[in-house]
């Protein structure tokens, strides 16, 4: 009898993890997306060959938002559901894990869904960022407008801080001092691009995801849905005025940065027609005491023989020091995309343009226009696996440096994700994508 009871106990212990997993309905999912590329970087039209930035062509393998994640839902009754999702970048190469952002969280959060809509907390795409799904039909292999010009290259992170340089090296910079003359340790913020990092001579990239934000999505009414997200002011700072003898502490400022984004989108005619408008307002991001703001509008239509989409965006960076002093710096971009079904896949193509900055805050050197185009074919081998190939190119003005997310290292052999002003890039690629 004791042996039988012991056997039942052991069996129950072994089965318990499986039962818990079944009750929590945990789903493992992900996407692996890699491409092999031939990339040409042109000589910079801004500095020529004086600094060694000559033409160079190289080969490499790039990961395009490869990710994995966990999802779980639980029915609470009364039409309400609790849910969570944790999604992470999937590192497809060995690294020592010393750089911030490695395997960082992507869309991750916990929330409640019901007749009231969906409310959740976490790290997630802003309503502005999510609009790309309504129009970006022409991207092939990860090389397209939304990983380069549109959104001025997306970023993920919390509010930037004027008190943080996000320094990741021991060299850092001159340390600030408190009013008592005590050294303040160099900050390592580690939450995205800090202190309004520029794209070329421009303003910061528009945030793709808020870190630790608050999100709400309304129910869908006749194809219409509203979304809103808020990035709280966790970087709010209060410093006492430093004494004259500790002037280096003057770099420390009192700030109250926050951000919010909202969108209104419509999908109709069986999903063939799409339209949206979205906004973003960022307080104390470019300049303490000023609020940056902008909007985007676009949509698309699937005619059957061709699916087309288009977007236009305008964003104003306030209080920026320009050629004639502090003022507003206006950035305007637009793009179009098309997908044509062919066989078991599609031909995809896009064209995007960033206009030169305008406004009183425009820089003195203002050859800041850029354009991008791509064309390729994606062959669907199954519902979960696809192979693509094509070509994509960015032409930068002499005072701007757009590049793609995940770009190969540039002429110096180690800098990636950005290029010097005036450097053009051309990518020939073959990609493979598998979802699970």
pLDDT in tens, 325-354: 788 999 999 999 999 999 999 999 999 999
What is the largest distance, in Å, between two alpha-carbon atoms of the chain? 92
| DSSP E strands, 269-369 | 273-283, 291-302, 307-322, 325-342, 345-354
252: which residues sit within 8 A by CB, 6+ positions away? 163, 176, 184, 237, 239, 242
pLDDT of 97: 55
pLDDT of 259: 95
Question: Residue 347 forms beta bridges with which residues?
Answer: 340, 377
- The Cα–Cα gap between 146 and 130 comes to 11
- The Cα–Cα gap between 14 and 415 comes to 50
Would the pLDDT of 218 be above 80? yes
Work out whether strand 155-157 and strand 207-217 pair parallel, antiparallel, or are unpaired: parallel
- The Cα–Cα gap between 202 and 244 comes to 33
Interval 120-124 mean pLDDT: 96
Measured CA distances, 143 to 63, 293, 350 (Å) = 11, 27, 10
Measured CA distances, 428 to 336, 345, 383, 392, 433 (Å) = 21, 19, 25, 7, 17
Interval 248-277 mean pLDDT: 88
Would the pLDDT of 303 be above 80? yes
Work out whether strand 108-114 and strand 325-342 pair parallel, antiparallel, or are unpaired: unpaired
Would the pLDDT of 31 be above 60? yes
Q: Nearest-5° angle of CA 352, CA 353, CA 355?
A: 160
Pick the residue with more confidence: 165 or 142?
Answer: 142
pLDDT digits (tens, 9 = 90+) for 390-411: 999 999 998 888 999 888 888 8
- Residue pair 229/213 in contact (Cβ under 8 Å)? The answer is yes
> How sure is the predictor about 13, in pLDDT bands with cuts at 50, 70 and 90?
very low
- Residue pair 330/319 in contact (Cβ under 8 Å)? The answer is no
pLDDT of 74: 94
- The Cα–Cα gap between 154 and 204 comes to 9
Exposed/middle/buried for 282, CB within 10 Å: 0-12, 13-18, 19+? Answer: buried
Nearest to 376 by CA among 403, 334, 337, 434: 337
Would the pLDDT of 14 be above 80? no
pTM of the model: 0.84
pLDDT digits (tens, 9 = 90+) for 94-103: 666 544 445 5
Identify the residue whose tokens are 């001092």: 177
Would the pLDDT of 385 be above 50? yes
pLDDT of 195: 40
pLDDT digits (tens, 9 = 90+) for 71-117: 999 999 999 999 999 999 888 776 665 444 455 789 999 999 999 99
> How sure is the predictor about 270, in pLDDT bands with cuts at 50, 70 and 90?
very high
Class of domain 27-91+108-169+180-435: mainly beta
- Residue pair 266/276 in contact (Cβ under 8 Å)? The answer is yes
> How sure is the predictor about 251, in pLDDT bands with cuts at 50, 70 and 90?
low
pLDDT of 240: 73
pLDDT of 47: 59
Phi, psi (deg, nearest 5) at residue 146 = -80, -5
Question: Residue 123 forms beta bridges with which residues?
Answer: 108
232: which residues sit within 8 A by CB, 6+ positions away? 212, 213, 214, 258
Give me the half-sphere count of Cα atoms (radius 13 Å) on the Cβ side of residue 357: 32
Pick the residue with more confidence: 6 or 142?
Answer: 142
Q: CB neighbours (10 Å) of residue 387?
A: 16
Would the pLDDT of 118 be above 80? yes
Would the pLDDT of 175 be above 80? no
pLDDT digits (tens, 9 = 90+) for 178-205: 444 444 444 455 554 444 433 445 667 8
Pick the residue with more confidence: 241 or 198?
Answer: 241
Would the pLDDT of 58 be above 90? yes
- The Cα–Cα gap between 420 and 387 comes to 31
- The Cα–Cα gap between 84 and 111 comes to 6
- The Cα–Cα gap between 70 and 88 comes to 9
> Which span out of 12-21, 171-180, 301-310 was modeled with the highest average pLDDT?
301-310
Identify the residue whose tokens are 């306030």: 318
pLDDT of 307: 98
Give residue 403's Cα distance to chain centre.
13
Mean pLDDT of the chain: 83
Exposed/middle/buried for 303, CB within 10 Å: 0-12, 13-18, 19+? Answer: exposed
Interval 311-334 mean pLDDT: 89
Interval 38-55 mean pLDDT: 75
Lowest mean pLDDT among 45-59, 155-169, 221-235, 347-361: 155-169
For the chain, report the end-to-end CA distance as a whole number of angstroms. Answer: 46
pLDDT of 176: 45
């Amino acid at each position: 009898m004791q042996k039988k009871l012991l056997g039942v106990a052991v069996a129950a212990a072994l089965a318990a993890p499986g039962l818990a997993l079944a009750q929590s309905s945990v789903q493992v999912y992900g996407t692996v997306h890699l491409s092999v590329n031939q990339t040409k970087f042109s000589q910079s039209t801004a500095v020529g060959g004086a600094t060694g930035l000559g033409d160079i062509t190289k080969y490499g393998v790039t990961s395009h938002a490869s990710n994995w994640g966990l999802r779980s839902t639980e029915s609470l009754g009364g039409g309400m559901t609790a849910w969570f999702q944790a999604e992470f970048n999937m590192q497809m190469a060995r690294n020592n894990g010393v750089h911030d952002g490695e395997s960082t969280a992507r869309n991750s959060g916990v929330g409640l869904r019901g007749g009231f809509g969906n409310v959740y907390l976490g790290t997630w795409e802003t309503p502005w960022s999510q609009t790309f799904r309504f129009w970006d039909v022409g991207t092939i292999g990860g090389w397209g407008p939304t990983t380069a010009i549109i959104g001025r290259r997306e970023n993920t992170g919390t509010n930037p801080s004027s008190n943080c340089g996000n320094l990741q090296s021991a060299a850092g910079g001159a340390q600030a001092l408190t009013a008592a003359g005590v050294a303040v340790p160099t900050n390592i913020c580690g939450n995205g691009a800090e202190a309004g990092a520029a794209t070329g001579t421009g303003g910061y990239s528009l945030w793709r995801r808020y870190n630790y934000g608050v999100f709400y999505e309304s129910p869908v009414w006749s194809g219409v849905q509203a979304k809103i997200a808020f990035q709280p002011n966790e970087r709010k700072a209060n410093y006492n005025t430093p004494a004259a003898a500790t002037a280096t502490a003057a770099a420390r400022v009192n700030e109250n940065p926050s951000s919010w984004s909202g969108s209104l989108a419509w999908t109709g005619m069986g999903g063939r027609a799409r339209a949206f408008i979205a906004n973003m307002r960022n307080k104390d991001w470019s300049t303490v005491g000023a609020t940056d703001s902008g909007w985007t509008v676009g949509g698309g239509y699937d005619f059957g023989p061709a699916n087309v989409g288009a977007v236009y965006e305008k964003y104003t960076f306030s209080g920026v020091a320009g050629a004639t002093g502090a003022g507003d710096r206006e950035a305007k971009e637009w793009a179009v995309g098309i997908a044509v079904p062919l066989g078991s896949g599609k031909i995809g193509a896009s064209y995007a343009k960033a206009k030169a900055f305008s406004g009183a805050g425009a820089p003195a050197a203002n050859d800041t226009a850029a354009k991008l185009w791509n064309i390729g074919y994606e062959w669907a081998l199954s519902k979960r696996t696809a192979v693509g190939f094509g070509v994509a190119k960015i032409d930068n003005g002499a005072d701007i440096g757009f590049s793609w997310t995940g770009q190969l290292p540039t002429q110096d052999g180690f800098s990636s994700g950005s290029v010097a002003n005036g450097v053009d890039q051309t990518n020939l690629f073959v990609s493979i994508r598998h979802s699970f």
